[in-house]
């Protein structure tokens, strides 16, 4: 009876925190790091590039075109190419995911700013708003729903794509999949899939909550309409 394979709960208990790098806890921490850092970096780079593309329209097409080419590149070959530069480190995964995120967020920033009605801008100018104040107090808040919708796409895709890095030894929870491949055993696969899905759902939920907090007027408008 004791010689049979462990149940999934027994396997989780044994492997949650073993003190080794391949414990579930460490893999989860690595996965969070390699997912969240590209999301933050993508936003930090995409915001000024998107605003610059709005200011100088000639810049948008080449920027978006370059990012579309980058986005079309398969992640695994890119990881492998970067190994010669960044080595077998988390940076090898973080850099491509940052560019993938920028490819989504730059158009989101441009579309969000473009969604601001002209009469709203004119009202802000009439009230004496400087360009910077108008951007921070009027344009960015109105653009927030579009930008955050792009952030939701970036968050889910980053959390998913990190697992591909397991093929170069830096995949967070993806390490559970390679472990199951090397020694056919289903619990690691199930745990990896469930945890990645939970991370994606939590990230998406937090971004939805952030959008509601940043755009209270949208809820008020919906309440009046109902």
Rounded Cα distance, 107 and 144, in Å: 13
H-assigned helices in 8-88 = 8-15, 24-55, 60-72, 75-86
Q: What pLDDT score does 1 carry?
A: 45
Rounded Cα distance, 178 and 189, in Å: 9
Phi and psi at 7, nearest 5°, equal -70, 170
25-38: average pLDDT: 93
On average, the pLDDT of the chain sits at: 87
Rounded Cα distance, 95 and 156, in Å: 17
Residue 1 belongs to some domain of the structure:
no
Residue 226 belongs to some domain of the structure:
no
194-208: average pLDDT: 94
Angle at 33 between CA 30 and CA 39, to 5 degrees: 145
Higher pLDDT, residue 31 or 217: 31
Task: Quote the tokens at residue 178.
Answer: 């390679």
Residue 66 belongs to some domain of the structure:
yes
pLDDT > 50? residue 55 = yes
Q: Give the model confidence (pLDDT) of 81-134 as tens digits.
A: 898 888 888 899 999 999 999 999 999 999 999 998 888 888 888 888 888 888
CATH of residue 96 = 1.10.3720.10
| Highest mean pLDDT out of 16-30, 114-128, 145-159 | 145-159
Provide the pLDDT confidence category of residue 181 given band limits of 50, 70 and 90: confident
Domains held by the chain: number: 1
Domain limits at 167?
8-221
Angle at 172 between CA 91 and CA 93, to 5 degrees: 25
pLDDT > 70? residue 53 = yes
Residue 117 belongs to some domain of the structure:
yes
Model pTM above 0.85: yes
Q: What pLDDT score does 3 carry?
A: 62
Residue 135 belongs to some domain of the structure:
yes
């Amino acid at each position: 009876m004791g010689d049979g394979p462990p149940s999934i709960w027994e396997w989780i208990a044994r492997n949650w925190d073993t003190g080794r790098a391949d414990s579930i806890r460490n893999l989860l921490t690595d996965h969070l790091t390699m997912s969240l850092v590209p999301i933050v970096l993508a936003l930090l780079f995409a915001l000024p590039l998107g605003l610059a593309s709005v200011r100088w329209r000639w810049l948008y097409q080449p920027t978006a075109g370059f990012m579309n080419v980058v986005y079309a590149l398969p992640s695994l070959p890119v990881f492998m190419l970067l190994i010669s530069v960044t080595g077998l480190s988390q940076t090898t995964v973080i850099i491509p995911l940052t560019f993938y995120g920028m490819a989504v967020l730059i158009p989101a920033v441009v579309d969000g700013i473009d969604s601001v009605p002209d009469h709203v801008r004119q009202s802000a100018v009439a009230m004496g708003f400087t360009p910077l104040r108008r951007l921070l107090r009027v344009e960015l808040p109105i653009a927030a729903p579009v930008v955050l919708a792009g952030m939701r796409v970036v968050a889910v895709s980053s959390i998913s794509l990190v697992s591909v890095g397991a093929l170069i030894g830096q995949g967070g929870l993806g390490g559970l999949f390679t472990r199951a491949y090397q020694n056919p055993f289903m619990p690691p696969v199930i745990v990896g899939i469930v945890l990645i899905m939970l991370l994606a759902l939590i990230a998406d939920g937090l971004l939805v909550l952030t959008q509601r907090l940043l755009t209270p007027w949208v809820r008020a408008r919906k309440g009046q309409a109902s």
